Chain A
Amino acid sequence: MDQVTPLNRWVEIGRLEDIPKRGARVVKTDAGCVAVFRTFEDAVYALEDRCPHKNGPLSDGIVHGDAVTCPLHNWVISFETGQAQGADEGSVRTFPVKVENGALFLDTGRVLRSASVLSAA
């Protein structure tokens, strides 16, 4: 199903129930912290854990629908696009994450690649 290219690197990071519904947990990577969110209806998303406004930790925000409100100044960031909603402008990177039999997998290949893009830039 999932295309396995050498660049994809799915790593098990925990179980779905480790994250509260409408909550988040952080995964530390060499490319910085990734916030893994779980919605009320058990969809999961992974976003860079740094608000585009002033680096607020999105993992500490309030989750509603498929967005999170930053805990520092209430920007609303969409899980789907990583874009700030409404009048605010900015975006964070989103990463592939999936659930298989209750286990969570993060595509660290993508996380690290985006880091190398960053450091190359």
Chain B
Amino acid sequence: MSEKLVVIGAGMASGRVLEELFEAAPGRYSVTLFGAEPRGNYNRIMLSPVLSGEKTYEEIITHDADWYSAHGVTCRFGERVTGIDRDKKVVFSDAGETPYDKLLLATGSDPFIIPAPGHDLPGVLTYRDLDDTNAMIGAAAKPGAKAVVIGGGLLGLEAAAGLKMRGMDVTVLHLMGHLMERQLDAAAGYLLEKELKGRGIHVHTRANTHEIVGSDKVEAVRLDDGTEYEADIVVMAVGIRPSTGLASSSGLMCGRGVHVDDAMVSSDESVLAVGECVEHRGLCYGLVAPLYDMAKVAAQTLAGHDAAYTGSVTSTKLKVTGVDLFSAGDFAEGEGREEIVLRDPTRGVYKRLVIEENKIVGVVLYGDTQDGAWFFGLLKDKTDIAEMRETVIFGPSFAGGAPVDPMAAVAALPDDAEICGCNGVCKGTIVQSIQSGAGDLDAVRGGTKASSSCGTCTGLVEQLLAVTMGDAYAAPAAKPVCGCTDLTHEDVRRIIKAGKITSMAGAMQECGWKTSCGCHICRPALNYYLLSDFPDAYRDDPQSRFVNERNHANIQKDGTFSVVPRMWGGITNPKELRAIADVAERFDVPTVKVTGGQRIDLLGVKKEDLPEVWRELNDAGLVSGHAYAKGLRTVKTCVGTDHCRFGTQDSTGLGIKIEKRMWGSWTPHKVKMAVSGCPRNCAEATCKDIGVICVDSGYEVSVAGAAGMDLKQTQPLAKTETEDEAIDLIVAFTQLYRENAKYLDRPYRWVEKVGMDWVRARVVDDLEERLALVARFDFSQSIYQTDPWAERAEEQQSRQFRPLADLTLQAAE
């Protein structure tokens, strides 16, 4: 007589076990198959094409009624198993008891639901089975319907793409900084986001769901930052949890999943488990490839043969038509790991291999995934790639061959190949212009417009110059930003502006960065360019700032810090001085010094004391003086008409006005200003980045001075009659500098490059441009003019300044 096998769960794993079992031990078991869904086994991963309308449910059924009857399977679909009595060896369902000799658990996972208020409103859906899929398809039928998908992982994005294809207005909310962060690094995440946005899907990263709003059904989703998105449905796709309720209530050992050994047997030798519900060697899986491996072993075990499952290496593809994305293995940086990165900005391609001991341990491909399987093979087989290290990234067709010569690739392009996408210039046109005398990049730009807009094709144009002119071509001496790129600062700024790029990962991708994460030279520059061009859309990255700007204090040679509060225009009062004195005493500040910038420096403060020091200074109304910043430092003033017998205007008052308007702004390098009340110039205004000399008839504004390593006298910008106009000029000049200068160029260096005439034309002569510059400066200030000290004195942030742990006591035990 055959043994009784009861299977709980008619999903992908159990379907595969049964197939393998009927082959390995035909007739040994009489099988009863319970499934909570009112249908048999189907290919769950194909729900996405069903959702998007590219397939029908019928096309994804894997086992039909004929198959079950041919193998004598008793189907109990639509019947949930509610309990197991392992002593009696029976399972319970609404229909009563069913006895077993062997039991197979294949209950899969349950979608995780964020317990935010409103999560139980009608219209909040998950994405797991056909019913969920049909509910989404139903909602999309209403014209103009809006969907909010919470979760930018594999499932969430497939849901979003499908709903979009059904005509819905779709927004994806993702908690982390980039999409699919578990499978993709930031660069690939950026490309994916760009693609989805191109399809009209809104993507909001770093989105913390606060509440699902609605009275008797879903109406909107509100985030922690107050943003609200209207919604007819909300799809929660934030993760899954192995479905272990049944197993744990019957006393089987469970961790995150049902514990199984290598034979797929649980803590009870009559009970096996497979699929997403299990935990094997500490790991739970959420993809099908491991399930197939497990199913094979479970079938062998049931058939009485020895077999062992030893774990799986997985790879991921996103099933969104038109998106090519592949990820496998572990792409974290790590001990002894190196990376090979290949980017092709024009084609939107990004490839990254992570190598350890000459073996590939991680792969991320975007835009061109052709070689995914080949890389994955090398990864799984732990193939030694030392021999083909130079060319492996180009795929199997090049592997082992000679390293590719980029020049050869350009030379091989046909004449009608488009080089400059912005201006539609093809290779033939460029070559012709070179042959008729254009001998360098600027000449080609002038003659053909190629490379004169966004600049991404600059490299190609230079290669064409080299190929066409041979040795006669002297490559430009322009210095690249750093070893991570061949582009200059100017190129990078242009590409960021032209491409409206608002993320670090995006900038690195579009500029073809050769490293995945940049370095200490390029990251601060990129961070500045992004925040200056897109103050609202870009989010400042403290980890890409130099120590002083990250810690909002100047580091000293012994690792302590100096603290300089702002003294507006050099004016202070007893209350501020008392607060400074108190702080100096309370925190044992070794040195208190008057700076050359008309304020007071507390030198030698311990890092962990900084937040407390700031809090006390804040209490007296003192804010950060940004003495550490590539930003506005001081506005020095003299006593002016208030006291001085020569004073012509209120120089102190004007200095304070300027400082109050402009403090907190970030600039390519530091910016210092001064206002003197008469040409005697006691505030040394003529050696500052911006200086004002007051005269009887008004204000002489001059710019581009310095008194550091270079000594420069300022050059006149303009003379104004009113204070207000003087301030407008100063603000407009600063904004022009912010928008155009290379990172770490002081204004005088930048003006040397662009010329005073160019500056005057924009800031002085063109009134419209002046006002536009002022408006953009003020907009940036609306975001960045905040006291960094006050923010960091809060508990949440001040923790970062303290040691993570103090083990000195424990160690003494």
Contact = CB atoms under 8 A, between A and B. Distances in A.
**Do A and B form a real pair?**
yes
Interface of A: 11, 13-14, 18-23, 25-31, 33, 36, 39-43, 45, 54-57, 60-66, 69, 71-72, 74, 76, 79-80, 104, 106, 108, 112
Given A11-B810, A80-B336, A60 B547 contact: yes
B435 interface: no
Interface stretch (B549-557, B670-678, B783-791): B549-557
B333 A57 contact: no
A65 B543 CA distance: 12
A71 B805 contact: no
A86 B389 CA distance: 22
Contacts of A71: 546-547, 555
B711 interface: no
A24 to B, nearest CB: 9
Interface in B757-813: 799-800, 803-808, 810-812
B327 to A, nearest CB: 12
A44 to B, nearest CB: 10
B547 A14 contact: no
A13 B807 contact: yes
B333 A22 contact: no
A39 B333 CA distance: 7
Contacts of A43: 332-335
Interface in B333-384: 333-337, 339
A39 B339 CA distance: 14
Given A41-B333, A66-B335, 18 more contacts: A14-B804, A18-B799, A23-B542, A25-B803, A27-B804, A27-B807, A30-B807, A30-B808, A39-B517, A40-B333, A43-B333, A45-B335, A56-B559, A62-B543, A62-B545, A65-B515, A71-B546, A74-B520
Nearest to A54: B557
20 contacts: A13-B804, A20-B800, A27-B804, A28-B806, A28-B807, A29-B811, A30-B808, A36-B804, A39-B333, A40-B186, A40-B516, A40-B517, A41-B332, A62-B547, A63-B543, A64-B517, A66-B337, A69-B519, A69-B520, A71-B547
A67 to B, nearest CB: 8
B804 A29 contact: no
A93 to B, nearest CB: 15
A57 B557 CA distance: 9
A48 to B, nearest CB: 13
A26 B803 contact: yes
B174 interface: no
Nearest to A66: B333
Chain B contact residues (Cβ within 8 angstroms of A): what range? 35 or more
Nearest to A80: B335
* 10 A-B pairs closest in CB distance: A41-B332, A71-B547, A25-B804, A69-B520, A22-B543, A13-B805, A62-B520, A57-B559, A60-B547, A66-B333
Contacts of A31: 811
Contacts of B333: 39-41, 43, 65-66
A20 B811 contact: no
A14 B804 CA distance: 7
B331 interface: yes
Contacts of A19: 804
B615 interface: no
Contacts of B185: 40-41
B517 A65 contact: yes
A36 B805 CA distance: 10
A30 to B, nearest CB: 4
A55 B555 CA distance: 13
B543 A23 contact: yes
Contacts of A18: 799, 804
Contact of A11 (B542, B546, B557, B807): B807
B543 to A, nearest CB: 4
B599 interface: no
Contacts of B336: 80
Contact of B543 (A20, A28, A106): A20
Contact of A28 (B519, B523, B555, B805): B805
B518 interface: yes
A61 B547 contact: yes
Given A13-B804, A27-B807, A72 B557 contact: yes
A40 B806 CA distance: 25
A29 B808 contact: yes
B244 interface: no
- The listed residue with most B CB atoms (<10 A of its CB), out of A18, A26, A64, A71, is A64
A104 B804 CA distance: 10
A82 to B, nearest CB: 11
Contact of A64 (B523, B547, B803, B805): B523
A71 B554 CA distance: 11
A72 B337 CA distance: 27
A22 B517 contact: yes
A62 B546 contact: yes
Interface string B545-587: 1110011000101110000000000000000000000000000
B544 interface: yes
Nearest to A25: B804
B520 A64 contact: yes
A5 B626 CA distance: 50
B300 to A, nearest CB: 28
Contacts of B334: 39, 43, 66
Nearest to B544: A62
Q: Which residue of A28, A33, A41 has the most chain B CB atoms within 10 A of its CB atom?
A: A41
A46 B415 CA distance: 55
B519, B551, B799, B805, most chain A CB atoms within 10 A: B805
Interface string B720-751: 00000000000000000000000000000000
B363 to A, nearest CB: 14
Interface in B676-727: none
A47 B414 CA distance: 54
Contacts of B523: 62, 64
Contacts of A29: 807-808, 811
Interface in B511-547: 515-520, 523-524, 542-547
Contacts of A56: 559
Contacts of B518: 64
Contacts of A33: 803
A28 B803 contact: yes
